[in-house]
Amino acid sequence: MVDGLHRVVVTGLGAVTPIGNTVQDYWSGLISGRNGVDAITLFDASAHACRFAAEVKDFDPAGLIEPKEAKRWDRFCKFGVVAAKQAIADAGLTISDANADRIGTMIGSGVGGLLTMETQAHVLEGKGPGRVSPFTVPMMIPNMATGLAAIALGTKGPSSAVATACAAGSNAIGDAFRLLQLGKADAMVCGGAESAITPLGVAGFASAKALSFRNDDPATASRPFDKERDGFVIGEGAGVLVLETLEHAQARGATILGEVVGYGMTCDAHHITSPTPGGVGGAEAMRLALADGGIDPSEIDYVNAHGTSTPANDKNETSAIKSALGDRALQIPVSSTKSMTGHLLGGSGGIEAVACVLALQHGVVPPTINHTNPDPDCDLDVVPNQARDQTLGTVLSNSFGFGGHNVCLAFKRAS
């Protein structure tokens, strides 16, 4: 313990992403600069202003989810449960009646079961209320990835689902970290899951002018920090971590993959979608994470940026990083893995936390692909186009969401 708080370590990782449906494939995709963006296949997007996305490909939950059950689950829940099962297997954590009430689950989601909501709305309109599925509500509510993961794993400890838009996955990890610090649980299964590549989801973000409209070249559409960026690319998937108190992990002989050391969160209280000019709220979240972990800015070796590829976010996040990290900001590698995966909304914090732990383990910084025209307003070292070997000790992960939610997580290499 430190000052009465438990140290919290990472012992398991799970990932279902547009560039790989296992942690190994995801990491291989990240360090090779694999592009996960292509034409939408989940629905007919021919009438849409944006006709591409970062879909999860070749996803088959067979063996991890019973086929009968899978029919009753929204797609985001399938992603979340599969990633959670991967993480538990990676951690080698056995859950039994003896320890279930000390193991909790928190999987955040920005919008929950949007596909179910749309599909059943069409049923209601076309066939009447009597034909609406009795599974409609449990399929669409955003807490159900957490609920179904808890059922599948048998976890009976602290359980909740954060819904802070694109910060949800990081908030879920941060909240789980805090519970473990306080000794309210021995282990937590936490992260984010999302599947909002639907007609309404794509049309809504397009109408808000948040998406890229690079239909002629979707592979280069997600281009964070590039001068020619024109919006984000919507993605889907899930990232889940198993966190444990250090004492619990050591007692069972677990392999420790990394350590969570800081959590900061703020609210811009400024606008429903736009960040505060100058990235003031994001900068404060970063400072809080540093203070929480007793970390000096000079110790930061890498920042996994929110980096959405929107004009406003990338410029303001650049200012936030400079404000929080001071003179060293221009020397610290700052990359956006969304250049490859697209933006998973509430799931993004989950897969990006996984990326941070893997970067610490392997000593490799993932690149920002599609960076061809540097923007003077985004003058950070964005690790353009190729991964970089570098010894990493402490890294930050930023997540910012509609509604002004800002989250920063700090991770350290396992010691």
For residue 12, what are the domain limits? 8-251
- pLDDT values of the chain reduced to their tens digit, one per residue, 415 residues: 667 899 999 999 999 999 999 999 999 999 999 999 999 999 999 999 999 999 999 999 988 898 888 889 999 999 999 999 999 999 999 999 999 999 999 999 999 999 999 999 999 999 999 999 999 999 999 999 999 999 999 999 999 999 999 999 999 999 999 999 999 999 999 999 999 999 999 999 999 999 999 999 999 999 999 999 999 999 999 999 999 999 999 999 999 999 999 999 999 999 998 888 999 999 999 999 999 999 999 999 999 999 999 999 999 999 999 999 998 999 999 999 999 999 999 999 999 999 999 999 999 999 999 999 999 999 999 999 999 999 999 999 999 999 999 999 999 999 8
For residue 351, being part of any structural domain is answered with yes
Indicate the residue among 219, 251, 283 that finishes a domain. Answer: 251
- Per the CB < 8 A criterion, the answer to whether 113 and 198 are in contact is no
Residue 293 and residue 200 share a domain:
no
φ and ψ at residue 112, rounded to 5 degrees:
70, -145
For residue 259, being part of any structural domain is answered with no
Cα–Cα distances in Å, from 354 out to 13, 244, 258, 317?
A: 6, 15, 10, 21
Length of the chain as a residue count: 415
- Structural domain tally of the chain? 2
Cα–Cα distances in Å, from 180 out to 193, 238, 244?
A: 21, 22, 7
- Per the CB < 8 A criterion, the answer to whether 300 and 50 are in contact is no
The question of whether 190 is a catalytic residue gets the answer no
Residue environment code for 259-272, b if the CB has 16+ CB neighbours within 10 A, otherwise e: bbbbbbbbbbeeee
Residue of 50, 77, 166, 190 marked active site = 166
Residue 153 and residue 16 share a domain:
yes
Residue 41 and residue 98 share a domain:
yes
For tokens 């995966």, the residue is: 341
- Per the CB < 8 A criterion, the answer to whether 153 and 188 are in contact is no
Q: Strand, coil or helix: what is 40? A: coil
CATH classification of the domain holding 350: 3.40.47.10
Residue 314 and residue 212 share a domain:
no
For residue 166, being part of any structural domain is answered with yes
Residue 271 and residue 219 share a domain:
no
